[in-house]
Structure 1
Amino acid sequence: MSTDTNAIGLHTSTATQLAEHLNILLANYQTFYMNARGYHWNVKGNQFFELHVKFEETYTDLLTKVDEIAERILTLGHEPMHAYSDYARVATIKEDTHVSDGTTCVKGLLAGYKSLIELQREILSVASDADDEGTASLVGDYIREQEKTVWMLSAYLG
């Protein structure tokens, strides 16, 4: 193995660039996860029962992805961010506080997913250029799932 490659055979500079992008993605997932938890806890109104369950499904899925992204960063030979102060500093998704109206919560989910898809498309491009099939496959799967979710949330909102 060349000295300018990491343990999985990627150039170290490229792995560093990918890890930086993935850490930004991780920060956004963590913030979005907390938003979804807040929607789950605080939603009120005639949509409560269906949305309460939907928000729980959402935050459970997001938490799984948080772990997968952190583990991918480690696989690339880097350290995942793990401080909320770092997340707040780099995330483009912002905290959504004091939200209890169901429609507003769903709009928050929709905006969050759109932000994640945009970030993941950027990572997909970098990973593809680097021949990093592992990262490309991971974010490609997320994009496919989340595009369908965006369609469904948009349909729900009418």
Structure 2
Amino acid sequence: MAVSIGIPKKEREQIAKHLSKLLADTYSLYLKTHSFHWNITGPQFNSLHTMFETQYNELWLAADEVAERIRTLDVFAPGSYSQFGKLTSIKEESGVPDWKVMVNQLVEGHEIAAHTARQTIKAASTAGDEGSADLVTGRLKEHEKTAWMLRSLLK
């Protein structure tokens, strides 16, 4: 059955490309945050271990929301490490840095995701896709807030 939600196929595909990049950023940030949760050490251990757990759980749920929005637009969502690696701008961390470097990397990751979200909102708004714009506006606010909270730890 053809999709008839008021957004032409070409525009749905364009929005889905932006959403796929946001999904890749979200999933990459999820993996990094979860790894840091497992491997945090030092005097900030308890507070950061708990904070990172809250953050990776939020990112996990967000990834599902973004992927389901892509499917709502009748486009297949990326779902492999290689696809995410090509789409994301978030740098992978294969080592175990100290807690300050972890926090800095997470701030940077959330800021990158915020930039991706802004571009996605523009594309969705231009196409009249209020549903995607609304979803991504919530994601933007969450990435900005999380970056602020993490940045505050470093002052």
TM-score range, shorter-chain basis?
over 0.9
Residue aligned with 1:29, SS: helix
1:50 corresponds to which residue? Answer: 47
1:69 aligns with 2:89: no
Count of residues in Structure 1 that have an aligned counterpart in Structure 2: 154
1:82 corresponds to which residue? Answer: 79
Deviation of 1:136 (Å): 0.3
Residue aligned with 1:10, SS: coil
1:111 aligns with 2:108: yes
1:146 aligns with 2:146: no
Deviation of 1:117 (Å): 0.2
Moved more, 98-107 or 72-81: 98-107
Partner Cα separation in structure 2 for residue 8 and residue 82 of structure 1: 25
Residue aligned with 2:25, SS: helix
Tell me which amino acid in the other structure corresponds to 1:94: K
Residue aligned with 2:5, SS: coil
TM-score for both structures, normalised by structure 2: 0.94
Once the two structures are superposed, residues 3-55 of structure 1 have per-residue CA deviations (whole angstroms, 9 ceiling, x without a partner) of 8xx33221111100001111111111111111001100001001000000011
Deviation of 1:146 (Å): 2.1
1:123 corresponds to which residue? Answer: 120
| Structure 1 vs Structure 2 CA RMSD | 1.2
Structure 1 vs Structure 2: percent identity of aligned residues? 38
1:91 aligns with 2:88: yes
Partner Cα separation in structure 2 for residue 40 and residue 148 of structure 1: 19
Tell me which amino acid in the other structure corresponds to 2:88: A
Partner Cα separation in structure 2 for residue 7 and residue 76 of structure 1: 10
Partner Cα separation in structure 2 for residue 80 and residue 157 of structure 1: 36
Partner Cα separation in structure 1 for residue 26 and residue 141 of structure 2: 16
Moved more, 33-42 or 95-104: 95-104
TM-score for both structures, normalised by structure 1: 0.93
Tell me which amino acid in the other structure corresponds to 2:53: E
